[in-house]
Amino acid sequence: MILRRIEAVDGPARVDVLLDVRAGFGRSRMKDLSLAAGRWTGRSGAIRFRWSAAARARRTADGLAFTVSVPGAPPAPDDAWAATEQSWSKVVPDCADLVAARDARHAYTVLHGLTSASGAMVAAVTTSLPERLEGGRNYDYRYAWIRDQCYAGLAVAAHDPHPLLQGTVRFLTERILGDGPWLMPAYTAGGERIPDERSLRLRGYPGGGARAGNRVIGQFQPQAFVHAGMLETAVRLSGPAKPDAPF
């Protein structure tokens, strides 16, 4: 769910909202639009979407347009906003015992946001990031690297066995037991094989073209087992709240 809050601080305001969902890196236009019970539904590529509270929206060449008069918004968005803040406050530990408590909470929040339900923590949420400026290539880092996941787990374990650590251990355990000596350096957020690397017809960062997938799937990095062993030691020393099945 995407929630945007707009506040009119000086008098009434008129806001025009345009919904134009584009899957496939912007190539798939919206289709199968229908309105029922005050909700718009449709799809873009393999993605299906639903738009609530926009029964008066109209079709345009670019999507769905909707005009909102502010103030006078219904109370539901405020409730959703407050619930979101409350949910995040419960997820992130206090960290008051650390020197830089605010920075630690911020770091934990970002790491939690990068972690999927499987416990896999992706390195980035965008594709085609340059390894270095004008380096000639951009890389797709939207995947969970075994090495990076272990380092993140070590940092969390140094403070406490927080839920983020248990998710990390669960993900690594499943991958090590499942793949054994064929452990790959990185996986998708669901613990699956990374797609083959391919070029995209999009502009990348300066000095490199846009790419999806990553050829790291063809590599074997034995040091991943060393990193996993380091994390296992840290988990055993981190406190009584250990995961049920440490690797």
Residue 138 has a pLDDT of: 86
| CA–CA separation, 229 and 167 (whole Å) | 16
Hey, what are 65's tokens?
């347009």
Residue 8 within a domain: no
Q: Are residues 122 and 177 in the same domain?
A: yes
How much is the pTM? 0.73
Residue 37 has a pLDDT of: 86
Q: Residue 57, Cβ neighbours under 10 Å: how many?
A: 19
Per-residue pLDDT of the chain (247 residues; tens, 9 = 90+): 677 777 888 888 888 888 898 998 888 899 999 999 888 899 999 999 888 878 888 888 777 776 665 444 445 777 888 888 888 888 899 889 988 999 999 999 999 999 999 999 999 988 888 877 777 788 899 999 999 999 999 999 888 888 899 899 999 999 999 999 899 999 999 999 999 998 888 877 777 788 899 988 888 888 888 898 999 888 888 765 444 444 5
Q: Are residues 95 and 72 in the same domain?
A: no
Residue 243 within a domain: no
Q: Are residues 110 and 31 in the same domain?
A: no
Structural contact between residues 92 and 112, judged by C-beta atoms closer than 8 angstroms:
yes
| CA–CA separation, 149 and 53 (whole Å) | 40
Number of compact structural domains in the chain: 2
| CA–CA separation, 210 and 39 (whole Å) | 36
Q: Are residues 190 and 97 in the same domain?
A: yes
Residue 42 within a domain: yes
Q: Are residues 148 and 233 in the same domain?
A: yes
Residue 70 has a pLDDT of: 46
Residue 71 has a pLDDT of: 44
Residue 242 within a domain: no
Domain limits at 218?
91-237
Look at residues 76, 101, 125 and tell me which one is the last residue of a structural domain.
76
Residue 245 within a domain: no
Q: Are residues 153 and 231 in the same domain?
A: yes
